[in-house]
Structure 1
Amino acid sequence: MPIHRNRGARDGRRPRGPRGRDPVVVVGAGLSGLACALHLLGAGRDVVVVEREDHPGGRAGRLDLDGFRIDTGPTVLTMPDLLDEALGAVGESVHERLDLVPLAPAYRAAFADGSTIDVHTDRAAMAAEVLRVAGPREAVGYLRLREWLTRLYRIEMRSFIDAQFDSPLDLVRPDLLRLAALGGFGRLAPAVGRRVRDERLRRIFSFQSLYAGVPPDRALAAYGVIAYMDTVAGVYFPRGGMRAVGDALAAAAAKAGGVLRYGESVTRLERSGDRVTAVLTDQGERLPCDQVVLTTDLPAAHRLLGHRARRPVAHRFSPSAVVLHLGTDRTWDSLAHHTISFGGAWRRTFEEIIGEGRPMSDPSLLVTRPTATDPALAPEGRHLLYVLAPAPNLAAGRIDWDAEGPRYRDRLVATLEERGLSGLGSSIRAERLVTPADWARQGLAYGTPFSLAHTFAQTGPFRPGNTVPGTANAVLAGCGTTPGVGVPTVLVSGKLAAARVLSRTGGGR
């Protein structure tokens, strides 16, 4: 049996098993790396995880500020069955490790005309809400849209998301025709618009494509699967914040015998021919490995491997985001746990961010109030707000964010006050602003936490694969590889990376 080292242990060597194998070294204790580790441990492999931060979670980061416990990465959790699958690999369950609260509504959408729509994942509740705000025809259209999204999801998950791709020929499978028949290779905005006509509903069921780095008018209709996850499958919040997810996966991995080494950065990969033989850290440690799984940002992974990605054209990266974390001494009843505050502009916002490389003049914002569900995340009588404003990445825009950031922060506060959060500015007791320049300082390419955009040329078999040409025992995981960006998909990427390792070496010790 493997020997579990305590958190922060320096000795990564482990006794070799009967087959004389060194462990699999996973670089990065983000959600993809932890999912990969759990699947490998469940298959009987020895695993060492190396993480530069002093805690797990990766981009699901954390900040403790004046008694406020802040999530600095994703705030929306969907598809908890994928967490359950990863934990189930080592005989545990999501319900044993996490206290997940289903959110009802999943979102509240607030519009420039003063109207609001609560987005429910329950079919009957959402149909009643659509009937209330838009009438019977739109309620029928919503049910048609929901059915279409569900059919998209079922096909895509089994054949195109939770699936390995080695070449474009791997697309040629029976579900390809089914996806085409559903209109999956058309455009998202028109596909949604054929089912609901109310502009507010069209926004609610298509804005998610921006997380994939593409405006709804240009995104493949197949990316309606993200709207399925948000508006049909359900949105959850873990008590303790999103940091609890990384903590839960890491604890399960440690219990299963994995070694987790925090506070160590990987500086180099030692190679012999086409094999990586060891991982070297900034602490002077040499960690021998049988296989290595790299979950770092894609350019960083290729730098460690010592080559550039082989691609006829340069990768296109997603837009970035400005995030304003606020600890306040008051709250507002108009805010749900998640509130999408839409500006009056719509198509123009995408042109400004992606085409012109400048901040939105009439911003649409995601405002998360985690203390609505878990008051313990803030001092007694205080509240947390997380304000996300999509923004150009550093390749698209030429903005001096160190100079512009404070001014943009003031614009965001003023905009939210104009939209009903009166007295927001004077209520702030703690804050932290994060701009694309800050994401870049964290090592994220072009200052975006959303990695590669999901254009057609960067989707499915055209997205960077999880194997590395010219390297026999290195595998990639995370949002830069297949299947893509988002908490559910990076969990799948970890599972697929583990499957690659096991297909090369088999399970067991």
Structure 2
Amino acid sequence: MTAAVCRERVVIVGAGIAGLSAAVSLASAGHDVHVVERAAAPGGKMRQVEVGGTRIDAGPTVFTMKWAFDRLLDRAGTTLEDEVGLTRAGTLARHGWGDGSRLDLFADPDASAAAIEDFAGAQEAGGYRRFCKDSAAVYATLKDTYIAAERPDPVTLARRVGMGNLSQMLALKPFSTLWSALGDYFRDPRLRQLFARYATYCGSSPFQAPATLMLVAHVEQDGVWLIDSGMHALARALADVAKRHGARIDYGRVVTRIEVDGSGVAAVHLADKERIPADAVIFNGDYSALASGLVAGVRLRQAPVKPAERSLSAITWAVKAKLHGFPLARHTVLFSDAYKREFDEIFRKGRVPDDPTVYLCAQGRDDTGARVADTESDPRDAFLCLINAPALGDRAPHTSSEIATCLDATLTRMARCGLSLDSATMESVATTPADFERMFPGTGGALYGRASHGWMASFQRPGARTRIPGLYLAGGSVHPGPGVPMASLSGQLAAASLVADRGSTRRFHPAAISGGTSTD
């Protein structure tokens, strides 16, 4: 069939990275794409906050897995380099502890190994080399079988890897926690703490998440990229590409209902009473918003994520202030003195830690810590400050005094690691779990969907297809998971599923709406 014959009316709910990726995929293939977004700008969690005249990234700050966007934009006849300014980081992150020790990790594993040897000795450097080898193997096993493929169940994943390849499956360490597995590589508790932080990339505790997440180490070594003008520029670029291919993107539009008839999806209804006819809908919001009925008209089989199963939320501050002491790099982590207690307080006690680990993204600095040229005239740094928090924004919102207490604890941790902030020069905007719940309904403020606790958690995320013909899911709460590239891949998978299904009369038979073909 030609594109003209197959042209579909697709409404995409949400202009997060997943929704934008789906829009680029479908619009560049000739489909009629209409994106509706409740916020005033694209990006979803990839947002910016203005502080003291400077727009500061207040969402995702680390860009990896560039190949996912290369694949997307190649189909749209462009490249990432043509759309945004990119620099590959040589220094991945700078880390500090309360005892005054510091360690940089580099894109070059040999440089990291040398730094670790100086930091903790030759035996730990050898453990790091083994860790790199094993993390690369885990990534190689899962890249095409899980990350970039339709959601599998355990048996399907085993079949994709190779039913006879038991050693490769066991090498994924699905039944070990990340924290326990790191003990096979590192004796120094600071190094276990550093690499355990990879569990937080998907909003989880390293003491409960599977060791499979060690693959993040290889993902970072494969390339961490800095985007000129900040991460939000990526969202704007994807929106521009989609629009160049004919997609319509409306901001400030709230979806209240997805209309379903005897054949499947029929239309999307907005709060302003507009009805948008649709042959298919891609929902780029948190799955729990649909599953809990926040959008009328659909009923899905899978229940919303329970509060106890939610991933991490956060309290963030977009800040401008003068800093002294500890030399910030673009990405800096200042570790708590009591790492296990930090996650126990969040996941078991439902409260913000008294001594939180602090992540800082200084977007006015390059990966080595040098000031970017256009910021040198301002003595203040512009940066995002983040601490982990429980995702209870719909149940126990923090008061202003509680937020002030959290900020005091954060500044105390920074000071213990040697970084001081001149409060007289400080301007900041805080975002709490309750704020994230308001922006992303149904989440409780969880930033990563379901926590990856236990070996089955990753298989419990819904896939792109639902039991309702024509309704698809995309975003960090669905397969393959959270994070900027994973969200993009989810949008690409949703678009591919939609196109494949439109060629199948079986999938769109009216009987399918009864649930006989459910994959959610």
TM-score of the pair, normalised by structure 2? 0.88
Question: Do structure 1's residue 366 and structure 2's residue 359 form an aligned pair?
Answer: yes
Q: State the 1:457 CA deviation.
A: 6.6
| Amino acid in the other structure paired with 2:198 | Q
Distance verdict in 2 for CA 1:138–1:166, change over 3 Å: closer
Q: State the 1:238 CA deviation.
A: 0.5
Question: Do structure 1's residue 327 and structure 2's residue 327 form an aligned pair?
Answer: no
Q: Which one is further off, 392-401 or 138-147? A: 392-401
Q: What does 1:278-293 correspond to in 2, within 5 Å? A: 278-293=267-282
Q: In the alignment, which residue of structure 1 is the partner of 2:35?
A: 49
Question: Do structure 1's residue 473 and structure 2's residue 470 form an aligned pair?
Answer: yes
Q: In the alignment, which residue of structure 2 is the partner of 1:343?
A: 336
| Amino acid in the other structure paired with 1:450 | Y
C-alpha distance in 2, partners of 1:268/1:32? 20
Q: State the 1:71 CA deviation.
A: 1.0
**Per-residue CA shift, 1:158-217, capped at 9, x if unaligned?**
101111136554233152635423142122122222122222222222212023233222
Question: Does the Cα contact within 8 Å between 1:171 and 1:461 map onto a contact in 2?
Answer: no
Distance verdict in 2 for CA 1:274–1:301, change over 3 Å: farther
| Counterpart pick for 2:60 among 74, 86, 90 | 74
Q: In the alignment, which residue of structure 2 is the partner of 1:58?
A: 44
Question: Does the Cα contact within 8 Å between 1:192 and 1:202 map onto a contact in 2?
Answer: yes
Q: In the alignment, which residue of structure 1 is the partner of 2:406?
A: 408
Q: What does 1:150-189 correspond to in 2, within 5 Å? A: 150-165=136-151, 167-175=153-161, 177-185=166-174, 186-189=176-179
Q: In the alignment, which residue of structure 1 is the partner of 2:496?
A: 499
Question: Does the Cα contact within 8 Å between 1:67 and 1:379 map onto a contact in 2?
Answer: no
C-alpha distance in 2, partners of 1:379/1:39? 42
Q: In the alignment, which residue of structure 2 is the partner of 1:384?
A: 382
Q: In the alignment, which residue of structure 2 is the partner of 1:451?
A: 449
Distance verdict in 2 for CA 1:458–1:294, change over 3 Å: farther
Distance verdict in 2 for CA 1:379–1:459, change over 3 Å: farther
**Per-residue CA shift, 1:329-386, capped at 9, x if unaligned?**
4565611111110021111111111111122122111111110134547974432121
Q: State the 1:146 CA deviation.
A: 0.5
Distance verdict in 2 for CA 1:403–1:349, change over 3 Å: same
C-alpha distance in 2, partners of 1:20/1:149? 43
Q: In the alignment, which residue of structure 1 is the partner of 2:510?
A: none
**Per-residue CA shift, 1:388-431, capped at 9, x if unaligned?**
10111217984634441122223322332343223432331x21
C-alpha distance in 2, partners of 1:138/1:418? 25
Q: Give the match's secondary structure for 1:74.
A: coil
Structural RMSD (CA): 2.5
Distance verdict in 2 for CA 1:330–1:168, change over 3 Å: closer
C-alpha distance in 2, partners of 1:294/1:312? 15
Question: Does the Cα contact within 8 Å between 1:165 and 1:465 map onto a contact in 2?
Answer: yes
Question: Does the Cα contact within 8 Å between 1:354 and 1:396 map onto a contact in 2?
Answer: no
Question: Do structure 1's residue 223 and structure 2's residue 213 form an aligned pair?
Answer: yes
Q: Give the match's secondary structure for 1:190.
A: helix
| Amino acid in the other structure paired with 1:85 | R
| Counterpart pick for 1:199 among 181, 189, 197 | 189
C-alpha distance in 2, partners of 1:140/1:360? 33
| Counterpart pick for 2:460 among 459, 462, 476 | 462
Question: Does the Cα contact within 8 Å between 2:11 and 2:268 map onto a contact in 1?
Answer: yes
| Amino acid in the other structure paired with 2:210 | L
| Counterpart pick for 1:244 among 204, 214, 233 | 233
Q: In the alignment, which residue of structure 2 is the partner of 1:301?
A: 290
Q: State the 1:113 CA deviation.
A: 1.3
Q: State the 1:83 CA deviation.
A: 1.7
TM-score of the pair, normalised by structure 1? 0.90
Q: Give the match's secondary structure for 1:446.
A: coil
Number of residue pairs the alignment of both structures matches: 489
Question: Does the Cα contact within 8 Å between 2:411 and 2:420 map onto a contact in 1?
Answer: no
Q: Give the match's secondary structure for 1:77.
A: coil
Q: Give the match's secondary structure for 2:15.
A: coil
C-alpha distance in 2, partners of 1:194/1:297? 36
Distance verdict in 2 for CA 1:278–1:332, change over 3 Å: farther
Question: Does the Cα contact within 8 Å between 1:107 and 1:118 map onto a contact in 2?
Answer: yes
C-alpha distance in 1, partners of 2:147/2:487? 10
**Per-residue CA shift, 1:263-289, capped at 9, x if unaligned?**
211121122125111112223322211
C-alpha distance in 1, partners of 2:301/2:403? 33
Distance verdict in 2 for CA 1:298–1:376, change over 3 Å: farther
C-alpha distance in 2, partners of 1:312/1:331? 45
Q: In the alignment, which residue of structure 2 is the partner of 1:126?
A: 112
| Amino acid in the other structure paired with 2:42 | P
Question: Does the Cα contact within 8 Å between 1:152 and 1:182 map onto a contact in 2?
Answer: yes
Q: Give the match's secondary structure for 1:78.
A: coil
Identity %: 32
C-alpha distance in 2, partners of 1:403/1:75? 28
Q: In the alignment, which residue of structure 2 is the partner of 1:7?
A: none
Q: Give the match's secondary structure for 1:58.
A: coil
